[in-house]
Structure 1
Amino acid sequence: MKKILFLLMSVLVVSCGMLHHNADDIINDMRDARHAQYVNVGSGLLGLGRMVSPSLSEASLGISSVQVLDLSKCNPNVRDKFRKRIMDLTKNRSYEEIVTNQTGYETRTALVRRDGQYVSEIVLVNASQASDVMLLIFGHINLENLERIVNDKSNYFIK
């Protein structure tokens, strides 16, 4: 009886642990797929960019790294698995869904993970028949700075 109870408890603990995936887990699992394209821009390269462009310095304030995963050229099974994992991520309570835009077969989603008044992760996903791309931004980003950057379209967005 004790063995059965221990086995059931072990299965419960493992299954609960598997439900709490985060965006970094998705990238780590999918970046080695055949034809996947993965880029990680670390703090060193971001620091170099801040020195070159003064406007980038303010925009990247608090960002420690940026990861980009492109599965556009991957097998449809890999892309379906990616979309399923993204759907699971939107149900994760540690992420807050900021916006979802769905047009036809294309879905764009923006999620954030907050740490008090700061944002620790920003997840941007574009999933469609033509492309599946995920952008993950890590850092300690002040919400006021982020709001100011988004609202100041003249300096930070392409016209």
Structure 2
Amino acid sequence: MPLALTSPAFEPGGKIPSKYTCEDEDISPPLAIAGVPDGAKSLALIVDDPDAPDPKAPKRVWAHWIVHNLPADLKSLPEDAEARGLPGGAVVGVTDKNEAAYHGPCPPIGRHRYFYKLYALDTMLPAEAMTKAELEAAMKGHILASAELIGTYHKGDP
């Protein structure tokens, strides 16, 4: 079975409930993980928005959540994972809001896509908060498998 990332909160390509956005509780959605390959030592997760600031004229990819050194045997992350306690050793990275925390969808205009990208790595990474670019550089040459879950959000969605 290939590496897979799903959420009981929204279907692939579906609308992310407002509970997980800046318009409501702004907490991370629950995530389910399956198919981690043999030899994986850790997992990394990046959530970003390639449609910032306007999907009709995107100018940058905005990082909303970065976590690495998740255990390779992890099967799920609960809703509001940071408050409920990430697994020991997990490190929350620095988002484009310049904070080491989850920041949910908050599109200024239009419907944006949010990419939840999971990576199975053959190593543990340094136990320090990294930006998305730093994490991607650290993962280079260590990715055994990857999976992606895409959700969408437009301000005012229920």
TM-score (norm 1): 0.27
Q: Specify the structure having the higher radius of gyration (Cα).
A: 1
Question: Which protein is richer in helix relative to its size?
Answer: 1
TM-score (norm 2): 0.27
